[in-house]
Structure 1
Amino acid sequence: MIVAFEGWNDACQTATNVVRRMVAHYESREVRHISCDGYYDYQTARPMMCHVTGRARIVWPQTTFFEVALDDGYRLYAQIAPEPNYRWMEYCRQSLRVAQELDVDHVVTLGAMFAECPHTRPLPVDVSDSTCQCDMDREYNGPVGITTVLDEMARGEGFDTSSMWVSIPQYVGSDECAQGTLQLTQELSCVVGRELDTTDLDRLAHQWRMRGDVLSSSDDELAAYVRRLENEYDRTARAATLAARNSPQAEEMVRDAENYLKGLDH
């Protein structure tokens, strides 16, 4: 079951757009809902007025579960919702009951966050699963979103779990980030074992990168900031490559990168 929440966990709608695109592209149907009652602050997650066939209708925030049939007949489930405001533990228990009813054995949570990274490089994607935590999970101390709570509770209930987070450069703006959605979809394809559709995402990702180029080229201060991010990214990537090869230069490269970053703080 693929899970994404709107709000704090979803910079530029990057994670929820993975689910929206899957539901729109493949044969899909709604199979379950979780009522909004008791989970939302309606001053934060406001109901929407919608006119369908000439009639006004109020649409309340809710959780929807979809069954999605991929092209080869393989079926998976997707959960999408605004992040709840209240009663997270009960909400997660209810979500996992639905997963059990649907015979789900693997829960995959998706997220996106703003971070200091350049738009000119592949966006950092951190992936962890039940047996292997990413560096971000091992080192992070601080506030968490509903995806982390659901992931931990699912693991405690015996589900296999995977968590995927993509980093988004905030300086490009708060519009949708197709590059991030593309990379999350590609990572999800590896977990699912099926190549998921990325129709138009390559083109939209190119447009997103071009927008970043235009912004940085018209602002000298921003251009210098992007160059600094590129240097940091390239140093870290080179150190990681050397470490993966068990190179004796790896430790020295990591120290150089750390010293370089410390120097930028002074």
Structure 2
Amino acid sequence: MVSAFAGWNDACQAATNVIRHLIDVYDAREVGKICCAGFYDYQTSRPMLCSTNGRRHIVWPETTLYEVAIDETHRIIVEMGPEPNYRWLEFCHRSLHIAEECDVDEVITLGSMFADCPHTRPLPLDVTEDGYETASTDGDDEYTGPIGIPTVLDQVAHDHGFDAASLWVSIPQYLGSDDCAQATLRLLHELSSRLGVELREGDLPRKAAQWTAQANLLVRCNDDLADYVRHLEIEVDTRRKAQDAERMSQVTANDIAQEAEAFLRDIDGGDGAAMGADPS
């Protein structure tokens, strides 16, 4: 099951747009709902007045689950709705109950957040597996602070025996809150890799290229912003070089250790042969 929730966890709608994209490009059918009663503050997640075929009606906030047919052998459940305001644990249990009824064995939550990252580099993607209580907090990925419903659902799913993973993409905070197709595409690619099936991209690459072009134009028209982006680029490139150097040193150390072990084995083998040789 792939879940995304609108609101605090969904900068530029990048996470929920993954779900919308899958529903649009594949055959999808509704398999469940988590209705609004008791979960929402209607002053925060307001009901909507809509018109269908000339008739107006009120649409209440709710979470909907769909079965999406990727191909003849791959079917996934997707979940989308506004982040609930109350009773998160009960909400997660209801969500996982529907997942169990649909024979789901893995839960993947999606999120997007604003960060100090340049649009001129690949958007950062953070992946957490096997729940947050068991995740490593070493290095630059350490985070302590407020969380949203995807984090809670991910942990509850893990505690209930589901394989669980959480994917979060970072979006440049200086570009505002318009839809970010580049971030949606980034999540889609990672999701495709995890599912082991190539997911249709549709018009996301075109929209992502348009987003990049608009960002470039904005930076060219603002000298202060251009300086800020260059500063971010230097930070990212420096951090990446340090990480590459660390990986190379680890590889080199492993190679040296393997060569030493092979050398010692050769010595032991040579000594054994010498000891067994005919002295005449």
Distance 1:16 1:206 in 2: 20
Q: Give yes or no for the alignment of 1:144 onto 2:147.
A: yes
Q: Answer yes or no: is 1:178 the counterpart of 2:181.
A: yes
Structure 2 distance, partners of 1:24, 1:134, is 36
Larger Rg, first or second structure (1 or 2): 2
Query: Which residue of structure 1 aligns with residue 65 of structure 2?
Result: 65
- Cα shift at 1:245: 2.3
In structure 2, how many angstroms separate the alpha carbons of the residues matched to 1:223 and 1:194?
A: 39
- What is the aligned partner in structure 2 of residue 90 from structure 1? 90
Q: Partner letter of residue 6 of structure 2?
A: E
- Aligned AA for 1:4? A
Give distance in 2, aligned partners of 1:79 and 1:186.
18
TM-score (norm 2): 0.85
Q: What residue in structure 2 maps to residue 35 of structure 1? A: 35
| 1:116 aligned residue | 116
Q: How many Å apart are 1:200 and its aligned residue?
A: 1.3
In the other structure, the counterpart of 1:56 is: 56
Alignment match of 1:216 (pick from 215, 219, 226): 219
Q: CA deviation at 1:240?
A: 1.6
Aligned pairs (5 A) from 1:1-266: 1-130=1-130, 133=135, 139-246=142-249
Over 3 Å counting, the alpha-carbon distance change for 1:31 and 1:167 in structure 2 is same
1:126–1:134: 8 Å Cα contact kept in structure 2?
no
Q: Deviations over 1:160-210 (max 9, x none)?
A: 001000000021121000000000000000111111111111111111111
CA distance in 1 between counterparts of 2:179 and 2:136 reads: 25
Mark the CA change 1:19 to 1:25 in structure 2 (over 3 Å): closer, same or farther: same
Rounded Cα–Cα distance in structure 1 between residues aligned with 2:111 and 2:240: 22
Q: Which runs of 5+ in 2 are unaligned?
A: 253-280
Residue 85 of structure 1 aligns to which amino acid in structure 2? N
Aligned-residue CA RMSD (Å): 1.8
Segment drifting more, 225-234 vs 207-216: 207-216
**Change in CA separation of 1:28 and 1:155 when aligned onto 2, cut-off 3 Å:** same
Q: Please give the alpha-carbon distance, in whole angstroms, between the structure 1 residues aligned to 2:24 and 2:136.
A: 31
> In 1, distance between residues paired with 2:140 and 2:89?
20
- Give 2:255's aligned residue: none
Determine the C-alpha separation between the residues in 1 that align with 2:159 and 2:71: 32
Question: CA deviation digits over 1:4-58, x for unaligned, max 9?
Answer: 0000000000000000000111010001001101000111101111111111111
Q: Residues 31-87 of structure 1: CA distance to partner in whole angstroms, max 9, x if unpaired?
A: 100110100011110111111111111111101000000134410100101000011
Tell me by how many angstroms 1:235 deviates.
0.8
Q: Distance in 1 between matches of 2:13 and 2:239?
A: 27
Q: Which 5+ residue runs of structure 1 have no aligned equivalent?
A: 250-266
Identity %: 53
Secondary structure at the counterpart of residue 249 of structure 2 = coil
Distance, in Å, in 2 between the alignment partners of 1:204 and 1:197 is 14
Change (3 A) 1:210 1:134: farther
* Aligned-pair CA distance for 1:138: 5.8
Q: Given residue 191 of structure 2, which amino acid in structure 1 is its aligned partner?
A: L
